[in-house]
Chains A and B, each alone.
Chain A
């Protein structure tokens, strides 16, 4: 039985009728409330008006990593409206379109309804089974693997945002003895690795955006899903609210995104040259001695030449920048005028606290390591760390958890993954799927026996769907927890329906970019629909069935007990407070400054109960100041020259490393711009001149951020508001280029890469550099629900090969920016 056969009774006639109703409303002006209302009404599970008392339930959004607070309006037993929780410190009452669309996910007609088993992956012949059977199959496989000493062949691929649930799964893997917990990569891949190398950080940095006076964004699309869009919108508002203290926001990107349109200044740049621009700006700051000399001399390492313990002399950052990146050269590379580079450098140094962000455009685009290192070095030049308006750290700011520590201790104490899986662990989104396929296919036998996928769709991000399918086919048991069918579910053996987060409980911990410790409660506003079950509860059932000693490590009756234990840990931290109004936040902060703490709860039980009303807990303070241990590098300072990376290079090269190899390694350890691409990328070389003259730039739109949202008509309806595009993909072409190529606005065009060719609707857009064409990411699913399957194109599939090299090799050219295409009328 196919999943779609298990759907509700919503038929094609219904759809066309409602789509027609929506079209009437949207024809004149793209989208109207009436049109959407018609669409929404027709898509609800029950068209009869709900009856019963009204109530509002606070919960936390998990539609993206942002973790906004929501208030769900309930009429009787039905959820009818979503608004922002004004007490939630991240969004303060704001809610983005994805939040508005949650009810469509909740009442989606294609929801998976019961556990399904297919004897052959990809066959589409699904057999309904009971939950007991499903739990038994997984538990038996785990027990047999443990008995055979092959527990390391179990892996969990977790796409859920950080929460108590993810901690539980980590704890579980630690208990059975597998190190293979793969958090499906999310935001800030490039910046987090740069922070690791230059600051010794174990997590992505946070930013004190609100208090910055000047923000230089290297392609970071704040308003389109980077971090939390509602938080970014709130920050934008605060930048504009203070009279006489307006923060200047400069957006540097090849395309005029919504963020760029809202910026004080948009600087169009050639794709992939952000590092060159950042270093050109660094040149201005260093050559004019505008850098923060006390910080650079006392808190940084590698600014000047230095000699290591082996007597090798190393180039200093200042020497490399002054030698290689004069503004005129940076201008040639980036296409940004010299005058602009000079001005940006001077403004950045003259407006403390000035913050540089990047270079990662969105949640799924990894950015580049060298670009991120170059951007981070700008923050170091002005000494903007651990101070208001600066780069902050999120590490260990949450109340300690005994469960997490146990798990990580087990994982860190001697259990190591096989070499191929280590490679997977260190991958970035976009590379992950390819690396997983490599790891599985390149060995004689699969290094994985059991792969458990939670709320992730790695098949969509694969550049080679067939190869990825072949890899999954080699893994004997693939278990997939999902609420809707997607590209990956079809390649699974066991499909387990999970509730949406409006039907389940969890505690979401921390949010990307946001510097404060925060724990948002996700509540079940309605009971789980159909026979879906929370993956955490299913896990506890599996543990019980496995018996001793595993059930001793996870001795919980149910998941709610785990959550309540976590709330006790939060209470024990004796800091922070429940979410409250902005004014209460101000008051709490004033108290804290004086060393006083006045929470609205007096017991752990009271905290747990009040979280249900307020939405969660947070620590409104931040310990500003360069504490000991902020920089966990070998020098205990910010390292312009990354010794961590240097040691990695030495370890890789071994003792026989030659001078050329060491020279290249030295270059990798300093922020740099990689002007050349890897030598074996013949296709790119061939296309660099005439055959493939245009750069392909992929961008995320908010409705499809993190490649999720294509299942929801609300999101399909508002894909490209600036061009009134909806329900399909499009390619943006500068009108000059389009005119030259003979492509009309709105006509079909063929897009060709060295390996692929596809047809797509062409749209003229002046907010692009003429040598660039742009396509949104998030459509073109091979599997999925009725509204996502086969709609549009997936540009990830046409990205230039060599993804695995994008972050680590000498090339450092991400496929997201190095892919070139040619276009002709279709």
Chain B
């Protein structure tokens, strides 16, 4: 869904080709990340109000294609699979967790499972790879992209969806006759080559009004798609094609265009996003992390599910239902997915509690104070990102674990919120005495 080339081209503008030359650009990038986090911490409204000032915040940092290289060369693939390809001894990172997972959630997952990973690697005599922050950024970009891709789909389950959702009451495929297919809706033959769930969602969305009308006349309820129903349906319809090889794809989506569409198509009138607040208070859900499914196809299914309700609400507000091309819909989803990925919504005060309660303070100090066993984390102030934290946790984890085992300290588990709070605290430590948060250096 996310175009590595598009990102590559954008990055080429500022990133020279050699590693040596790249370092200053990387530093620039890191500062941009900090700016993003800063903006997020002080409210999405600020970024939205600044307009173009928040441009980089919805770009996906890192290059997914390079992330695949990292994933392969660092040996992650020896244990983890990606869509079924790779090792079998650890979870398939394209499918697990099953829900939309932000970068902070991934860091939490990585942290919590790290001791088991390291132990397994030790037993199997696998070397523990070292990650540069840039590599971790690429890796996270890769994971976001790959997790948003739909599975190939199961034709048999798709056949069941076609029957159980009453699609066959109105539609036939390549002239199915009699009880096998209806004649009210168009023959789905012309859809047999559509490869992307977004293409289906876009067509269904644009024709939702007509379908709704006809379904009401037929006494049919609006079908609801769950999880992979839509991709399974696509897989089934594809098997009905007698032509192989003439599949129709979508070019990778552009989150920048998606941001513009979010406003121009009127989504921002009702829905809140990272950069905008809803203009009208109509109770439409915020398209935050909790509302996002894992894949683009699942998101398309949700749009379909809510189409009638949205149509009613828009009608009542006197709004015209926006129509999308498949690329526009892809851009829009891409914007929502990527803008939420690196979103950090924690606060430093709670982060301080995490730092103290989870035992971090037992080894690490911040700024002045007696030196602990672990390094002083004052260098992170103002320059901490999720991927930097992830790289540090991974690279120093084994020695941390060893020390903690010697000290009989239990490996603390961290939730996503705790990771985000911790980041907030580490980049801008909260003084001991409760006081108003000071202005942070940018």
Do B241 and A574 touch across chains, with their CB atoms under 8 A apart? no
Do A598 and B4 touch across chains, with their CB atoms under 8 A apart? yes
B195 CB–A CB distance under 8 Å: yes
Which of these, A393, A590, A596, A600, contacts B82 with CB under 8 Å?
Answer: A590
Closest-CB distance, A173 to chain B (whole angstroms): 27
Q: Which residues of B contact A628 (CB under 8 A)?
A: 174, 239-242
Task: Please measure, in the bound complex, the distance between the C-alpha atom of A587 and the C-alpha atom of B249, giving whole angstroms.
Answer: 15
Taking A396-B245, A627-B239, A628-B239 as contacts, is the C-beta distance between A595 and B82 under 8 angstroms?
no
Task: Please measure, in the bound complex, the distance between the C-alpha atom of A393 and the C-alpha atom of B243, giving whole angstroms.
Answer: 12
B68 CB–A CB distance under 8 Å: yes
B199 CB–A CB distance under 8 Å: yes
B5 CB–A CB distance under 8 Å: yes
> Which chain A residues in 584-599 approach chain B with CB under 8 Å?
584, 586-587, 590-598
Q: Which residues of B contact A590 (CB under 8 A)?
A: 68, 82-83, 146, 149
Do A396 and B5 touch across chains, with their CB atoms under 8 A apart? no
Encoded as 1 (CB less than 8 Å from any B CB) or 0, chain A from 592 to 631 comes to: 1111111010000000000000000001010101111100
A517 CB–B CB distance under 8 Å: yes
Taking A598-B4, A627-B242, A628-B174 as contacts, is the C-beta distance between A593 and B247 under 8 angstroms?
no
B113 CB–A CB distance under 8 Å: no
Nearest A-chain residue to B241, judged by Cβ: A627
B271 CB–A CB distance under 8 Å: no
Closest-CB distance, A75 to chain B (whole angstroms): 27
Which of these, A396, A575, A626, contacts B247 with CB under 8 Å?
Answer: A575
Which of these, B150, B152, B238, B248, contacts A574 with CB under 8 Å?
Answer: B248
A397 CB–B CB distance under 8 Å: yes
Q: Which residues of B contact A584 (CB under 8 A)?
A: 65
Task: Please measure, in the bound complex, the distance between the C-alpha atom of A604 and the C-alpha atom of B235, giving whole angstroms.
Answer: 30
Do B245 and A619 touch across chains, with their CB atoms under 8 A apart? yes
Closest-CB distance, B154 to chain A (whole angstroms): 10
Closest-CB distance, B12 to chain A (whole angstroms): 14
Closest-CB distance, B287 to chain A (whole angstroms): 20
A309 CB–B CB distance under 8 Å: no
Q: Which residues of B contact A587 (CB under 8 A)?
A: 4, 64-65, 68
Q: Which residues of A contact B249 (CB under 8 A)?
A: 574-575, 592, 595-597
Closest-CB distance, B426 to chain A (whole angstroms): 34
Do B244 and A397 touch across chains, with their CB atoms under 8 A apart? yes
Which of these, B5, B146, B246, B296, contacts A600 with CB under 8 Å?
Answer: B5
Task: Please measure, in the bound complex, the distance between the C-alpha atom of A643 and the C-alpha atom of B251, giving whole angstroms.
Answer: 45
Q: Which residues of A contact B241 (CB under 8 A)?
A: 627-628
Task: Please measure, in the bound complex, the distance between the C-alpha atom of A597 and the C-alpha atom of B149, giving whole angstroms.
Answer: 12
Closest-CB distance, A619 to chain B (whole angstroms): 7
Point out which of A574, A584, A598 has the most chain B C-beta atoms below 10 A from its C-beta. Answer: A598
Give the secondary structure class of A's interface: loop
A148 CB–B CB distance under 8 Å: no
Nearest A-chain residue to B5, judged by Cβ: A598
B198 CB–A CB distance under 8 Å: yes
B1 CB–A CB distance under 8 Å: yes
Do A595 and B195 touch across chains, with their CB atoms under 8 A apart? yes
Q: Which residues of B contact A629 (CB under 8 A)?
A: 242-243
Q: Which residues of A contact B107 (CB under 8 A)?
A: none
Nearest A-chain residue to B87, judged by Cβ: A243
Nearest B-chain residue to A588, judged by Cβ: B65
Taking A587-B4, A625-B238, A628-B241 as contacts, is the C-beta distance between A595 and B65 under 8 angstroms?
no
Closest-CB distance, A195 to chain B (whole angstroms): 16
Closest-CB distance, B116 to chain A (whole angstroms): 20
Nearest B-chain residue to A400, judged by Cβ: B246
Task: Please measure, in the bound complex, the distance between the C-alpha atom of A395 and the C-alpha atom of B82, giving whole angstroms.
Answer: 30
A310 CB–B CB distance under 8 Å: no
A28 CB–B CB distance under 8 Å: no
Q: Give the total of A residues in contact with B, Cβ under 8 Å.
A: 31
Closest-CB distance, B153 to chain A (whole angstroms): 9
B252 CB–A CB distance under 8 Å: yes
Taking A587-B65, A590-B82, A625-B238 as contacts, is the C-beta distance between A596 and B245 under 8 angstroms?
no
Closest-CB distance, A751 to chain B (whole angstroms): 49
Nearest B-chain residue to A628, judged by Cβ: B242
Do B238 and A594 touch across chains, with their CB atoms under 8 A apart? no
Taking A586-B68, A625-B239, A628-B174 as contacts, is the C-beta distance between A597 and B244 under 8 angstroms?
no
Taking A625-B238, A629-B242 as contacts, is the C-beta distance between A597 and B68 under 8 angstroms?
no
Taking A619-B245, A623-B244, A627-B242 as contacts, is the C-beta distance between A597 and B250 under 8 angstroms?
yes
B151 CB–A CB distance under 8 Å: yes
Q: Give the total of B residues in contact with A, Cβ under 8 Å.
A: 45
Encoded as 1 (CB less than 8 Å from any A CB) or 0, chain B from 309 to 347 comes to: 000000000000000000000000000000000000000
Which of these, B3, B72, B250, contacts A595 with CB under 8 Å?
Answer: B250
Q: Which residues of A contact B152 (CB under 8 A)?
A: 593
Closest-CB distance, A199 to chain B (whole angstroms): 14
Which of these, A586, A596, A619, contacts B250 with CB under 8 Å?
Answer: A596
Encoded as 1 (CB less than 8 Å from any B CB) or 0, chain A from 777 to 798 comes to: 0000000000000000000000
Closest-CB distance, A586 to chain B (whole angstroms): 6
Task: Please measure, in the bound complex, the distance between the C-alpha atom of A497 and the C-alpha atom of B149, giving whole angstroms.
Answer: 54
Encoded as 1 (CB less than 8 Å from any A CB) or 0, chain B from 377 to 391 comes to: 000000000000000
Encoded as 1 (CB less than 8 Å from any A CB) or 0, chain B from 63 to 83 comes to: 011001100100000000011
Q: Which residues of A contact B146 (CB under 8 A)?
A: 590
Taking A587-B4, A587-B68, A598-B4 as contacts, is the C-beta distance between A593 and B239 under 8 angstroms?
no
Task: Please measure, in the bound complex, the distance between the C-alpha atom of A575 and the C-alpha atom of B193, giving whole angstroms.
Answer: 12
> Which chain B residues in 245-275 approach chain A with CB under 8 Å?
245-253
Taking A584-B65, A598-B5 as contacts, is the C-beta distance between A623 and B296 under 8 angstroms?
no
Task: Please measure, in the bound complex, the distance between the C-alpha atom of A592 and the C-alpha atom of B69, giving whole angstroms.
Answer: 18
Taking A590-B149, A625-B155, A628-B174 as contacts, is the C-beta distance between A396 and B199 under 8 angstroms?
no
Nearest A-chain residue to B148, judged by Cβ: A594
B196 CB–A CB distance under 8 Å: yes
Do B242 and A583 touch across chains, with their CB atoms under 8 A apart? no
Do A595 and B197 touch across chains, with their CB atoms under 8 A apart? yes
Q: Which residues of B contact A397 (CB under 8 A)?
A: 244-245
Do A593 and B150 touch across chains, with their CB atoms under 8 A apart? yes
Encoded as 1 (CB less than 8 Å from any B CB) or 0, chain A from 319 to 342 comes to: 000000000000000000000000
Task: Please measure, in the bound complex, the distance between the C-alpha atom of A591 and the C-alpha atom of B152, giving whole angstroms.
Answer: 11
Encoded as 1 (CB less than 8 Å from any B CB) or 0, chain A from 399 to 426 comes to: 0000000000000000000000000000
Task: Please measure, in the bound complex, the distance between the C-alpha atom of A82 and the C-alpha atom of B64, giving whole angstroms.
Answer: 34
Closest-CB distance, A417 to chain B (whole angstroms): 30
> Which chain A residues in 372-397 approach chain B with CB under 8 Å?
393, 395-397
Encoded as 1 (CB less than 8 Å from any A CB) or 0, chain B from 171 to 202 comes to: 00010000000000000000000011111000
Do A595 and B240 touch across chains, with their CB atoms under 8 A apart? no
Closest-CB distance, A245 to chain B (whole angstroms): 9
Task: Please measure, in the bound complex, the distance between the C-alpha atom of A603 and the C-alpha atom of B64, giving whole angstroms.
Answer: 24
Closest-CB distance, A511 to chain B (whole angstroms): 16
Closest-CB distance, A529 to chain B (whole angstroms): 39
Closest-CB distance, B245 to chain A (whole angstroms): 5
Which of these, B149, B155, B242, contacts A596 with CB under 8 Å?
Answer: B149
Q: Which residues of A contact B5 (CB under 8 A)?
A: 598, 600
Taking A590-B83, A590-B146 as contacts, is the C-beta distance between A596 and B251 under 8 angstroms?
yes
Nearest A-chain residue to B196, judged by Cβ: A595
Point out which of B64, B65, B72, B155 has the most chain A C-beta atoms below 10 A from its C-beta. Answer: B65
Closest-CB distance, A385 to chain B (whole angstroms): 13
Taking A623-B244, A627-B244 as contacts, is the C-beta distance between A594 and B68 under 8 angstroms?
no
Q: Which residues of A contact B150 (CB under 8 A)?
A: 593-595
Task: Please measure, in the bound complex, the distance between the C-alpha atom of A574 and the C-alpha atom of B245, giving whole angstroms.
Answer: 10
Q: A591-B149, A596-B252, A627-B242 are in contact. List 7 more A-B contacts (CB 8 A).
A: A573-B246, A587-B68, A590-B146, A593-B83, A595-B199, A621-B247, A627-B241
Q: List 16 A-B contacts (CB under 8 A).
A: A574-B248, A583-B68, A583-B69, A586-B72, A593-B83, A594-B296, A598-B5, A598-B251, A598-B252, A600-B5, A623-B245, A626-B239, A627-B240, A627-B241, A627-B242, A629-B242
Closest 9 CB pairs of A and B: A595-B196, A594-B149, A597-B249, A629-B242, A595-B195, A628-B242, A623-B244, A397-B245, A598-B252
